[in-house]
Amino acid sequence: MEILKGIQVANAINEKLIEEAKELARAPHLGIVRVGEKPDDLAYERGALKKMEKVGFAATVFSFPTDITQDDFMREFQKVNEDPEIDGILLFKPLPKHLDEKAIECAIDPKKDLDGISPVNQAKVYAADASGYAPCTAEAVVEMLDHAGIDPTGKRVTVVGRSLVIGKPVTMLLMKKNATVTVCHTRTKDVEGCCRQAEILVAAAGVAKMIGSEHVSDGAVVIDVGINVDAEGNLCGDVDFDSVCEKTSLITPVPGGVGSVTTSVLAKHLLKAAKQNQ
């Protein structure tokens, strides 16, 4: 059993980014757009800023009060959208309920949409069009598998979760790599049986420790995307790590797994956008 930590994967990506960025006339510039001060957003923001600094990229935070009106937000957001110095945008979601999230997703420039929220980029992911941007967390799953030398071609993969942020896009990314993918969700009958058939199991349901040893076949690869808090107040994934790990050939931990790679994928997307913009 191998525990694949995200820091190994992130460092490998970072090294490539630093080398490739030397060819640019200026450092790629990230615009982070945040409404309010939710702890999760602030934590990810700190991680993103730290990552950009580490690889030598620039970043500017555009923060707005929670009670900003739709018209005011759209006006300010469009300024960021049209700023030629901003190569890519990270917009924190969900937004406050009084803001029209769909309208904002449609407004973002697809060429700057680093986390794949634009309908244009969503369509490109489903069409296996590499010119678009997949959600960073979904792509981080693929980066983990690539780094471990695991080729999904022809393998049975089960994805637990069908969200637009992770479940659906990671399914498309793995199908692009010729995996045979089954998607499980709340209406799936015999989730355990579906999971046991998998050679690669991706847990992305957002339910703490829902995947136990009964879900995992011997020698399976388990990628845990979940970020939850258990009954004791500890950070945990969708996988009950202690009960599952000995059955696997490779498993990712939480914390310290897929989440550690996400900001490196964000930086990778920013570099791609900067190359197109400069």
Assess whether 149 and 94 both reside in one domain: no
- Give the pLDDT confidence score for residue 278 in this predicted structure: 81
Where in the sequence is the domain holding 104, given as residue range(s)?
24-110
Q: Which of 68, 92, 110 is the last residue of a domain?
A: 110
Q: What is the mean pLDDT of the chain?
A: 96
Assess whether 91 and 170 both reside in one domain: no
Q: Which of 110, 127, 150 is the last residue of a domain?
A: 110
Provide the pLDDT confidence category of residue 277 given band limits of 50, 70 and 90.
Answer: confident
Assess whether 144 and 242 both reside in one domain: yes
CB contact set of 159 (below 8 Å; sequence gap of 6+): 167, 170, 171, 174, 181, 182, 183, 184, 202, 204
- Give the pLDDT confidence score for residue 172 in this predicted structure: 98
Assess whether 232 and 190 both reside in one domain: yes
Assess whether 54 and 169 both reside in one domain: no
- Give the pLDDT confidence score for residue 228 in this predicted structure: 92
- In 3D space, the residue among 271, 227, 208 whose CA is nearest the CA of residue 29 turns out to be 271
- Give the pLDDT confidence score for residue 126 in this predicted structure: 95
CATH number reported for the structural domain that contains residue 191 in this entry: 3.40.50.720
- Give the pLDDT confidence score for residue 231 in this predicted structure: 81
- φ/ψ of residue 89, rounded to 5: -125, 135
pLDDT over 90 (residue 186): no
* Residue 126 domain flag: no
- Give the pLDDT confidence score for residue 30 in this predicted structure: 98
Q: Which two tokens stand for residue 222?
A: 């388990």
In total, how many domains does the chain have?
Answer: 2
| pLDDT above 90: percentage of residues in the chain | 96
Assess whether 91 and 147 both reside in one domain: no
Assess whether 254 and 165 both reside in one domain: yes
Assess whether 163 and 254 both reside in one domain: yes
Reported as a single tens digit per residue, the pLDDT across 211-266 is 999 999 999 999 999 999 888 888 999 999 999 999 999 999 999 999 999 999 99
Strand partners, 113: 89
Assess whether 149 and 65 both reside in one domain: no
**Phi-psi region for residue 219, left (φ > 0), alpha (ψ -120 to 50) or beta?**
left
* Residue 10 domain flag: no
pTM score, two decimals? 0.96
CATH number reported for the structural domain that contains residue 106 in this entry: 3.40.50.10860
Q: How far apart are CA 225 and CA 252, in angstroms?
A: 9
For the segment 81-92, the average pLDDT, to the nearest whole number, is: 97
Assess whether 143 and 242 both reside in one domain: yes
- Give the pLDDT confidence score for residue 233 in this predicted structure: 85
CB contact set of 227 (below 8 Å; sequence gap of 6+): 206, 235, 237, 254, 255, 259
Q: Are 211 and 239 in contact (CB under 8 A)?
A: yes
Assess whether 97 and 140 both reside in one domain: no
* Residue 234 domain flag: yes
Reported as a single tens digit per residue, the pLDDT across 106-161 is 999 999 999 999 999 999 999 999 999 999 999 999 999 999 999 999 999 999 99
